[in-house]
Amino acid sequence: MAAITVYFVRHGQTYFNTYRHVQGWSDSPLTQQGILDAQQTGQRLAQIHFDQAYCSDTMRARHTAQMILQANQASALKQPQELTYFREVFFGSYEGMPAQEVWPMVSGEAKLATYPELIQKYTITQLKDRIKATDPTHQAENNAEYWQRTDAGFDYLRQHQRPGSQVLLVSHGAAMSSIVAKYGQGHYDVAQIPRNGAVTKLLVTPETVEVAYYNRVDEGPLS
């Protein structure tokens, strides 16, 4: 049975990205560079026919998806459908805080200052659990909670798209790297968050998810 092809895109750069603030379910607008990110990704995907377009229910993902669709020459879609399943990881009371303050608190005695350092020490799975454990409110998502939501999203795609369909899905960096860490069979460096506007190609089958490529920002058309 043919897979559902998902062009999984990280949103364009936001103001919180430039401030280096933790941004999960919190939101901030695209910067001028973020608008350019979305437009350039739209050009790289302009010849891909999309049977449907989805995005998370954040302003930054919605605006990115809209600009990608505006540039598309192979589909008539104008607006994405919002899906909460593909939100970013939820960081609880750390939302909106400077990352340079959050990561040392999460890492405890290790006092690590960057996300790549945390991933190298804990893995993505362990890091989500640690974020929830150290969040004073304990409202952040742990790994099981994140995957309960995301697995439901993949099931939604399987139920609503025919085999062989091609869809656009605009989502988020930590969500994208989490999916690739689980399904990429160790072939990709997930310690580096995907760049704004980067494309990851997923093949969703009835049984699993396969990664065709990850974090592509190269010039020229993508297939």
Residue 37 lies in a domain: no
Residue 125 lies in a domain: no
CATH of the domain at 16: 3.40.50.1240
Instruction: For residue 11, report the phi and psi dihedrals to the nearest 5 degrees.
Output: -55, 165
pLDDT of residue 1: 79
Residue 66 lies in a domain: yes
pLDDT of residue 219: 84
Domain count, the chain: 1
pLDDT of residue 176: 98
The binding site for substrate consists of 10-17, 60
The range of the structural domain enclosing residue 8 comes to 4-28+45-90+140-216
47 in Cβ contact with 75 (< 8 Å)? no
Residue 179 lies in a domain: yes
Residue 152 lies in a domain: yes
Residue 206 lies in a domain: yes
- Quote the Cα angle for 49-24-194, to 5°: 50
pLDDT of residue 88: 99
145 classed as catalytic: no
Residue 222 lies in a domain: no
Identity of residue 216: R
pLDDT of residue 161: 99
pLDDT of residue 126: 97
11 classed as catalytic: yes
Q: Of 21, 63, 88, 172, which is the active-site residue?
A: 88
Q: Average pLDDT by consecutive 10-residue portion of the chain (223 residues)?
A: 96 99 99 99 98 99 99 98 99 98 96 93 96 98 99 99 99 98 97 96 98 94 95
**Whole-prediction pTM:** 0.97
For residue 81, the cross-strand partners are 54
Which residue's structure tokens are 């990881």?
Answer: 89
Half-sphere CA count of 28, side-chain side, radius 13 A: 18
Residue 166 lies in a domain: yes
